[in-house]
A and B are shown apart, each in its own frame.
Chain A
Amino acid sequence: MDVQLSVNQDQHPITVDTRETLLDTLREQLDLTGAKKGCDHGQCGACTVLVDGRRVKSCLALTVTMDDREITTVEGLADGDTPHPLQAGFIEHDAFQCGYCTPGQLCSSVGMLAEFAAGWPSVVTPDVSAAPHLDEGEIRERMSGNLCRCGAYVNIVAAIGQAGR
C-alpha cells in the first residue's frame, strides 16, 4: 500500500506491505535505526516513538495506519545541533550504559512529561481525580513501560526529574 509518512517533519511517500510495523518501516525503509527492536511484542519499550506527540510502541503499530500522523523518533528530538534537554540530561546523569533502551526512554519521557503537563494521573497518584505532582514515584511509575536491563534506573529518574522541573 502507498502511505504518506511524516517522520521528524520529513515527508516520505512510501510503499509498504500491510504487515509492516512502524518500527520496521523506520528501521528498514527510512534508515532511522534509533528506535530499537528489543522484543517486538510491546513488552520492553525500546521501540517507543511519538505519534502526534504521544508516546506509542512502534512495534505494535502498523505503518498503514500511520498516514497523516506526525511521527517523531529519537533522531528528531534535537533542535538542529542543540540537543533536547532530556538528551543532555541523560548524558549529564549517565542515565544509560549500553544505550539500547535509551532512544525509547527518551521518546517515552518526552511523551510522559507532556502527559503530566496535561494533568494526566498515574496509578500512584494519591487522588486519581486530582492533579498529580511530579515526584520520583510518579516518574518511576510512568516510565515503567521502558525496561533498562543495565539498571540505569536511578540515573534515569534523576535525568527526567531535572528535565521535568
Chain B
Amino acid sequence: MRPFAYERATDVRSAVATLSERPDAVYLGGGTNLVDLMRLGVVSPEMLVDVTRVVDATIEESAGGGLLIGAGVRNGDLTADPLVRGRYPVLAQAVLSGASGQIRNMATVGGNLLQRTRCSYFQDTSKPCNKRRPGSGCPAREGDHRNLAILGHSSSCVATHPSDMAVALAALGAVVHVEGRHGPRTVPMPGLHRLPGDEPDRDTVLEPGDLITAVELPELPFATRSRYRKVRDRASFAFAVVSVAAALDVADGVVRDCRIALGGVAPVPWRAELAESALRGAAATAAEFGRAADIELAQARPLRDNGFKVPLARNVLVGVLTDLAEAR
C-alpha cells in the first residue's frame, strides 16, 4: 500500500472543498472495498478524507412520503431498520444477501453504491484493464468472463457492478443526494452509474469532490410486495451470478405497476425498463412474465462463456415475479 495522509472531516462542506481541490484524495467510508483496493494496488490515493463521522447516519421519513437514508448508515443498520424492512423488503433482502454480517456492519450506504467491480482483471494490477488503466486493454473479453456482463458492456469493458443494494435501489427508483463543489443536487437511480462505453474508468456520473450524503426512497406503497433473489456459486458470502430485485402491484390478476432491476449481468445495476413497460397492464401470469423477460433480455450480448446467464436471468425474473404475484 502506498503511503497516504488521513484526515477526519469535520463537516460535509469542508470535506467536499478538500476533495474538490485534491484529485489525489478520496473519501473513506466503511473502507471495506477501498482499503482492499489500496492493498491490491488498484487505487493509490494520496489522501483519505474520513467522512464517516460527518455524513448523516440516520433513517427518517421524507417529506415526500418515502424514506431518507443517510449515506453514513451502515448496511447492518439499514437492514435492521423497521421502516426499511416493512415498506421496502426488497432493499433489506438485497443488503442482507450481500457480503457478510461483519462487512455489513462496516460498509456504508454511500460506499456500497460506489463499490468497484470484482472483475479479476481489474483486481490484478499485473494485467491490463481499461477500467483501472484506460487504454491498456480488456483481457476479459477473450479471457475469464464467466461471471461478467451480458448487458450494457462495451468493447472496452465487460465488468459487472457488484452491489446487491444498488440493484434494489435502482428498482425502487431511489434518488441519490449529492453534495458537490457547487452545492447539493440529486441524481436519480438508475442514472448514478454509467455504462462503460469507451470510458470504463468512470463508474458513475459523479464529479470530483462529489460526496453522496443520502439516498431517498420514493413513496411506493406496492413495494411492500417486493423481493430480491440472488443466484450465486455458493449459498452465502458470494457475489451474484444473477440477481433480481422486483416490486409488483397486482389487482384482479393484472399488473398495475412494477419495478424490476437485474444484478450481476451488467456494468450497472440494470433497471429492466423494457420488461416493466411490457408488463404494465398485462396479466400477472408466468407466461406474461416470461414474455417481458424475453423483451428485456433480447438486448443481451453474451460473451463466449456467460451465455448461461441469459436464460438464468429469465428464470430468476419469472420466478420472482410469479412469487410476488402469488404473495398476499
A residues adjacent to B (C-beta < 8 A): 1, 17-19, 21, 40-42, 45, 48, 54-57, 60-62, 64-65, 108, 111-112, 115, 118-123, 128-129, 141-146
Contact = CB atoms under 8 A, between A and B. Distances in A.
Given A121-B85, A122-B96, A60 B4 contact: no
B320 interface: no
A56 B30 CA distance: 10
Contacts of B100: 45, 57, 144-146
A112 B32 CA distance: 19
Given A17-B3, A65-B52, A111 B105 contact: yes
B102 A45 contact: yes
Interface in B203-242: 235-237
A109 to B, nearest CB: 10
A42 B103 contact: yes
B103 A141 contact: no
Contacts of B105: 54-56, 111
A57 B96 contact: no
A111 B102 CA distance: 9
Interface of B: 1-6, 8, 28, 30-32, 35-36, 38-39, 48, 50, 52, 76, 79-80, 82, 85-86, 89, 92-93, 96-97, 99-103, 105-106, 235-237
Contact of B3 (A19, A45, A146): A19
Contact of A120 (B28, B38, B79, B102): B79
Given A62-B6, A121-B92, 19 more contacts: A19-B3, A19-B38, A41-B39, A54-B105, A57-B102, A57-B103, A57-B106, A61-B35, A62-B31, A65-B31, A115-B101, A120-B79, A121-B79, A122-B96, A128-B89, A128-B92, A142-B101, A144-B235, A145-B236
Given A18-B6, A121-B85, A128 B35 contact: no
A57 B80 contact: no
8 contacts: A19-B38, A42-B32, A54-B105, A62-B48, A65-B8, A65-B28, A128-B92, A145-B237
A120 B105 CA distance: 12
B45 to A, nearest CB: 11
A89 B250 CA distance: 49
Nearest to A68: B53
B93 A108 contact: no
B104 to A, nearest CB: 9
Nearest to B34: A60
B167 to A, nearest CB: 14
Nearest to A130: B85
A121 B103 CA distance: 15
Given A41-B39, A120-B79, A121-B80, A62 B28 contact: yes
A108 B101 CA distance: 8
Contacts of B8: 65
Contact of B35 (A1, A62, A112, A145): A62
A128 B36 contact: no
A158 B101 CA distance: 20
Contact of A60 (B36, B93, B236): B36
B31 A145 contact: no
Contacts of B93: 123, 128
Given A18-B3, A144-B235, A115 B31 contact: no
A129 B36 contact: no
A141 B97 CA distance: 10
Nearest to A143: B101
A143 B76 CA distance: 14
B39 A121 contact: no
Nearest to B52: A65
Nearest to B36: A41
Contacts of B106: 56-57, 60-61
B97 to A, nearest CB: 5
Report, nearest first, the 10 A-B pairs whose CB atoms are least far apart: A145-B100, A144-B236, A123-B96, A18-B6, A129-B85, A120-B80, A129-B86, A19-B1, A54-B105, A123-B97
A19 B4 CA distance: 7
